[in-house]
Each structure stands twice: as C-alpha cells, then as structure tokens.
C-alpha cells in the first residue's frame, strides 16, 4: 500500500439525499456540496482540496444501499465527539454506543445510526 492513508475515499449510501444531507450538515455544522456524477446523486464532505486528506460523500445510486451491517466508517469529530453526538437524535438519528474511551493515547469513539439506516462511528482525541 503506498501513501500515508489506508483510506482515501468513502461513500455513505443514502436513499433520501435531502434528508441525509440535512442530517450530516446539522450534526457537524458543515455544508455539503451536491452534484450529479455518473448517474448518481452525491453530496461531498468538505476536504480542503484534499491535500493528502481523506474525502468522501453521501451517495444515492443503484449500487448504493444503506446498511447497518457493513463496513464501519469513523468520521473525524475532533476536538470532542460529544458535540456532534449530542445533535444526532434531534436530527433524526439514533446513538447506539455512547462516547466511550478507547485509551488515553487513542481517544474516544461512539456509534450511531443515521437517518438512512447506516451504522457510522465517530472518533475524537478527547
């Protein structure tokens, strides 16, 4: 594997783009840029022109089905995942594992179900 990141792109499957876009914009306080590409609707997470950083998008398309049983993506919730975690239920999601310490050197994690039925994780240093 070359490069510094094991992950270079992620896609979160959605069935209702507007609902999912509003959910993620609400919990993270961000704006997602929407576009159509290759027959799919996409809403891009901010990535500062990438610069070696991982980017990703919400995606609605024939090959994208929301799931609670697949791969788990950990979204960066620094400095403290308690902030977006506290907004999840009011935005229509469900917290399924509260903020939990992984270890003092690694930080904290939490799991939630988004509005589309995906199991997603958060990570922060504190």
Q: What is the CATH number of the domain that holds 34?
A: 3.10.180.10
pLDDT in tens, 15-72: 999 999 999 999 999 999 999 998 999 999 998 755 667 789 999 999 999 999 988 9
> What are 33's strand-pairing partners?
44
How many domains, in total, are found in the chain?
1
Q: Does residue 3 lie in a domain region?
A: no
- List % helix, strand, coil for the chain (3-state, nearest 5): 15, 40, 50
Q: Please give the pLDDT value at position 72.
A: 92
pTM: 0.88
Cβ proximity of 58 and 21 under 8 Å: yes
Q: Does residue 1 lie in a domain region?
A: no
3-class secondary-structure state, position 82 = helix
Q: How much is the CA Rg of the chain, to the nearest whole Å?
A: 14
Neighbouring C-alpha atoms within 13 Å toward the C-beta of 117? 10
Q: Does residue 2 lie in a domain region?
A: no
Q: Please give the pLDDT value at position 1.
A: 43
Q: Does residue 109 lie in a domain region?
A: yes
Give the residue numbers spanning the domain of 76.
9-124
Q: Please give the pLDDT value at position 53.
A: 73
Q: Does residue 4 lie in a domain region?
A: no
Q: Does residue 49 lie in a domain region?
A: yes
């Amino acid at each position: 594997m070359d490069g510094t990141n094991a992950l270079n792109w992620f896609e979160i499957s959605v069935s209702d783009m507007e609902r999912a876009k509003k959910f993620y914009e609400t919990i993270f306080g961000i704006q997602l840029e929407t576009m159509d590409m290759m027959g799919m609707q996409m809403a891009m997470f901010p990535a500062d022109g990438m610069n070696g950083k991982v980017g990703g998008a919400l995606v609605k398309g024939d090959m994208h089905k929301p799931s609670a049983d697949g791969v788990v993506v950990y979204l960066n919730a620094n400095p403290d995942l308690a902030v977006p975690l506290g907004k999840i239920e009011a935005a229509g999601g469900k917290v399924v594992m509260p903020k939990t310490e992984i270890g003092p050197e690694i930080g904290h994690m939490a799991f939630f179900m988004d509005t589309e039925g995906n199991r997603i994780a958060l990570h922060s240093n504190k």
